[in-house]
């Protein structure tokens, strides 16, 4: 018998239980004794049964899908390793449960709002994963008004009814700045990301706080998180009146781009210039010199977000999730400034 012909009636017969009990067990609902659930799941595995999301949706009014809408330039997404790793984490959770991710990239605010309304009205998803939070983010109110579920990556500034997945960066940024200052750096610049996004703004603010606490003057250039603008900011800093001995970038792709600019100019890294990232992508371990950054683990973000959203959809559970703090990872791209640098 092939898996395409297997039905829950077959599973019920093999497990010696009712069809209703099988449905509860396979959909991970309450009301099934643990030993009975194990027997049902064992029978399903032995028969080669696999879930049919479309058929389940007809009876439960669920799409068995989660939505992720990104309002970013596709080129930025293409080169930012956070999103593939984050999506891999989401898929780890969804694939194990026979569910899918619906991904949409929106060009602007209006297209983004339309995408949320379309996926909700067409009942194509059961809830949304909200990333890149903005100040007073309209998506919180929009998704709530649509009667949909959501979880947010990071804490919104406005009141929200949705669970929050958070990770503390302050301690890691403080440790990073202390590391650079203890090496002897005094001209430490920051290439910040899009400061409309809360995480871009909060990283810049923490950098500025650390600089002022050390009696130093902040030096910030804002970008859109893209490697192109990261490279441009690096050129501006190296050509400017306050040439830095260290640069802290808002994400790792910009740090890698900054390294390229420095190498092109013949600078010896890290002797002539120390460079750091802030979001712990794996690419930083394979470049030369390897990149000092913070331990972020985007896959962990994806697993936590998908798990929390499914709990909200299926059980109404609205607990927040706090991930381990982003700690400092010191690699070869930072060192004491060479003699004679200011």
Question: Cα–Cα distance between 139 and 133 in angstroms, integer?
Answer: 9
Query: Which residues fall within 8 angstroms of residue 55, CB to CB, at 6 or more apart?
Result: none
CB 337 within 8 A of CB 185: yes
3-state secondary structure labels for all residues of 136-157: CCHHHHHHHHCCCEEEEECCCC
pLDDT digits 0-9 by tens, 101-159: 999 999 899 999 999 999 999 999 999 999 999 988 999 999 999 999 999 999 998 88
Question: Cα–Cα distance between 238 and 71 in angstroms, integer?
Answer: 31
Q: Which domains does the chain have, with CATH numbers?
A: 3-50 (1.10.260.40), 65-167+298-322 (3.40.50.2300), 170-296 (3.40.50.2300)
Question: What residues of the chain score a pLDDT lower than 50?
Answer: 1-4, 58-59, 342
Report the pLDDT value the prediction gives residue 341, as an integer from 0 to 100.
55
Structure token digits, residue 323: 């991930």
Question: Cα–Cα distance between 302 and 165 in angstroms, integer?
Answer: 10
Question: Cα–Cα distance between 267 and 192 in angstroms, integer?
Answer: 22
Determine if residue 216 is left, alpha or beta; phi over 0 gives left, psi from -120 to 50 gives alpha, anything else beta.
beta
HSE-CB at 39 with a 13 A cutoff on CA atoms is 14
Question: Cα–Cα distance between 181 and 326 in angstroms, integer?
Answer: 19
Backbone angles phi, psi at 14, to 5 degrees: -65, -35
Burial class, 337, CB count within 10 angstroms (exposed 0-12 / middle 13-18 / buried 19+): buried
What string of DSSP letters covers 110-122? Answer: HHHHHHHHHHHHT
* Tally: H helices and E strands in the chain: 13, 12
Please tell me the chain's helix, strand, coil percentages from 3-state DSSP, rounded to the nearest 5: 45, 15, 40
Structure token digits, residue 42: 């064992």
Predicted model pTM? 0.81
């Amino acid at each position: 018998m092939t898996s395409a012909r297997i039905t829950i009636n077959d599973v019920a017969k093999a497990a010696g239980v009712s069809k209703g009990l099988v449905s509860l067990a396979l959909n991970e609902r309450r009301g099934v004794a643990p030993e009975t659930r194990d027997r049902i799941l064992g029978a399903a595995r032995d028969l080669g049964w696999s879930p049919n999301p479309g058929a389940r949706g007809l009876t439960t009014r669920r799409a068995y899908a989660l939505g992720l809408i990104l309002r970013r330039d596709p080129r930025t997404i293409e080169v930012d390793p956070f999103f593939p790793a984050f999506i891999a984490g989401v898929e780890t959770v969804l694939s194990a449960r026979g569910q899918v991710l619906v991904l949409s990239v929106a060009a602007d605010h209006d297209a983004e709002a339309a995408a949320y309304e379309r996926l909700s009205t067409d009942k194509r998803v059961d809830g949304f994963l909200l990333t890149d939070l903005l100040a007073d983010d309209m998506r919180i109110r929009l998704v709530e008004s649509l009667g949909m579920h959501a979880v947010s990556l990071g804490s919104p500034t406005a009141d929200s009814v949705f669970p929050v997945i958070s990770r503390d960066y302050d301690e890691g940024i403080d440790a990073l700045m202390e590391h650079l200052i203890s090496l002897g750096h005094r001209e430490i610049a920051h290439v910040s990301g899009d400061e409309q996004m809360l995480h871009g703004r909060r990283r810049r603010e923490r950098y500025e706080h650390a600089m002022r606490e050390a009696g130093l003057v902040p030096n910030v250039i804002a970008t859109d998180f893209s490697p192109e603008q990261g490279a441009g900011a690096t050129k501006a800093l190296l050509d400017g009146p306050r040439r830095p001995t260290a640069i802290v970038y808002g994400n790792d792709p910009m740090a890698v781009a900054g390294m390229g600019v420095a190498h092109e100019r013949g600078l010896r890294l890290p002797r002539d210039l120390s460079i750091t990232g802030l979001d712990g992508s794996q690419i930083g371990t394979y470049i030369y010199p390897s990149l000092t950054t913070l331990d972020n683990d985007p896959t962990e973000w994806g697993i936590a977000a998908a798990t929390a959203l499914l709990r909200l959809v299926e059980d109404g559970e609205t607990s927040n999730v706090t991930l381990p703090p982003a700690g400092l990872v010191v690699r070869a791209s930072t060192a004491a400034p060479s003699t004679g640098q200011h």
